[in-house]
Structure 1
């Protein structure tokens, strides 16, 4: 019985180590694109509908604790006031500038833009490992003319 318990503990340890190590690695190109798009499209849905509850639920715990859905709505009021809808990014490939990295604090830092017209969607996203996946801890999104 003791041998079975040790074997079970070893198997559990083997399952948890790769999961922890995976969070110290950059996502694949496809995984990174999905992470960026899902984050920005969830943000867009919140802005378009005025309901930030779902977007809030997808954030990392520290971000959720700092910003309530109401505070998010107030923070991104300009998007709603100007009727900014960035859903076109779903059909485009992001350009990363600089290359995404994991910093010394374990944050996944992703900056870049989508080549939308007449204005680009420019983003800066920081993610932290949370609940076994990368979750937003910071978001900065704006639209700018391509030459700005």
Structure 2
């Protein structure tokens, strides 16, 4: 991560549509075992009290078996990739964000970010909704339209 998480998070919140109760969090949890200690990362995004996106929880093979990583702790490597993706999203110019395809988004995060982004105004939200199949992103669009 090029910047501390709190600075990246703050920059994301500057893009969030006014009045949208969305939170993006990142934490590392200490896990001790007989083989040593490690930090297990977790990202999650909520709308109000509803968890819309949870990494690694949503990617452990239960709901998305095709996205389940292999190996003991593959998630540790994804943390910097998710933060880099968030940085790339934040740095995308306003006129490009609507149609941009984020090739390195293996988690479906950028659809949710687009749905929450005030740079995509209410007038274009129905068009975005038609383009997306991500239920979490659609839920965010519906919250913005009500």
Same-fold status (TM-score > 0.5): no
Structure of greater Rg: 1
Shorter chain as denominator, the TM-score bin is under 0.3
